[in-house]
Structure formats: C-alpha cells, structure tokens
Amino acid sequence: MIIEFTPYQIIVPIFSIIMVAYAWSLVGRQRKTIWEGMLWTVFWLGIAYVAFQPNSLQYLSSLTGIKKHENAATFTAIVILFFTVFYMVIRIEALEQRLTRVVRDKALKEAGIHGKNGDSEECKM
C-alpha cells in the first residue's frame, strides 16, 4: 500500500517544524518565554496535524455549526486573530500609561519637584 501525499502535506509540516525550531531558538536566546514557545509549538503542530488529517476539521465544523470545514477553520482563525489584536491593544495602552508615569516621575525628579509618594503637589488633581 503506497501512501500518496499532496505537496501541501509535505510543505506545511516541514514549515511547521522550522517554525517550532525558530520559536525554541528564541526561547533559548531568552527573547521569548517558555510559555510562548509552548504556545507556538501547539499552534504549529496543530497546523501540521490538519495538513495530514484534514477530516479533523469535522469537529470544528460541528462545534461552530458551519457546514464546510474550510469555512469553519477560516472563521475560527479570524475570531482568534481579532481576540489577539484586542488583547495586544489593551497591553499597548497599559504600556503607554506606564511609560507616561515613568517619564513624568523622572522629569519631576530632575526638576527637583517632589511631593508625597514621589508625586508633585502641583500635579495632583
């Protein structure tokens, strides 16, 4: 019995392995956390699994109620991307607020204006 693979079933798993190796090299260089490395590993192994077992999307189709497997996968990916962008926007806003606080505190220290808890008396509202 000869198993025939499509080019997709060959290229995607190879690319997935490369991406997992790259993610763990970033973990090794301490540019990413172990948690991020594990998350990327699960993601890319999932992509490779779907390349070998396209019928595995049947569960996703039944879960979402979308009949075509491709549409269910696309819809789910879009929802995940929107959630990720929303999460990143929240994180960026929090970082901007922290940066503003740090810069303000440093400017007040350099100006020699200190109030209670490091805040200036003039800046309190």
pLDDT in tens, 93-116: 999 999 999 999 999 999 988 755
Overall average pLDDT of the 24-41 stretch: 95
Residue 120 has pLDDT above 50, yes or no: no
Report the distance separating Cα 12 and Cα 85, nearest Å: 25
pTM reported for the whole predicted model: 0.65
Residue 125 has pLDDT above 50, yes or no: no
Report the distance separating Cα 75 and Cα 96, nearest Å: 32
Residue 84 has pLDDT above 70, yes or no: yes
